[in-house]
Amino acid sequence: MVQTDPDDQAFRYELILEARRRPELRPQVEHVHATYRAALRAELAAAGVDADDALVHLLFAAVDGMVFQQVCLDDPAATGAGLARLRSLLRLLAR
């Protein structure tokens, strides 16, 4: 997804930074993040992982960080390796 259209992801990060300067944008950023977290929670449940708010926050931060690094550094091998490791850890949490 990031390799296909990195500009969409870069725009999201630019919007987040702009919301620091313009508080009226913060509700939109919070809404987008809440939507991502809800989708992540649904995917985890479908995979048999019972995720509380803290785990969802942790996983969202990890994935978001990898997306940011991919957008900035364009290192698909590192991103792929990180995602593979994250998937292996999540398998340990599955019921």
The number of angstroms, rounded, from the C-alpha of 72 to the middle of its chain's C-alpha atoms is 15
pLDDT of residue 59: 97
Please list the helix, strand and coil fractions of the chain in percent, rounded to the nearest 5, in that order.
85, 0, 15
Query: Is 0.75 surpassed by the pTM of this model?
Result: yes
In a domain? residue 1: no
CB 72 within 8 A of CB 17: no
69 domain residue, yes or no: yes
Split at pLDDT 50, 70, 90, the class of 4 is confident
Supply the range of the domain harboring residue 81: 6-93
Considering its fold, how many domains does the chain have in total?
A: 1
Q: Does residue 11 lie in a domain region?
A: yes
Token pair for residue 82? 């990180």
- Quote the tokens at residue 39: 């989708």
pLDDT tens digit sequence for 38-95? 999 999 999 999 999 999 999 999 999 999 999 999 999 999 999 999 999 999 999 7
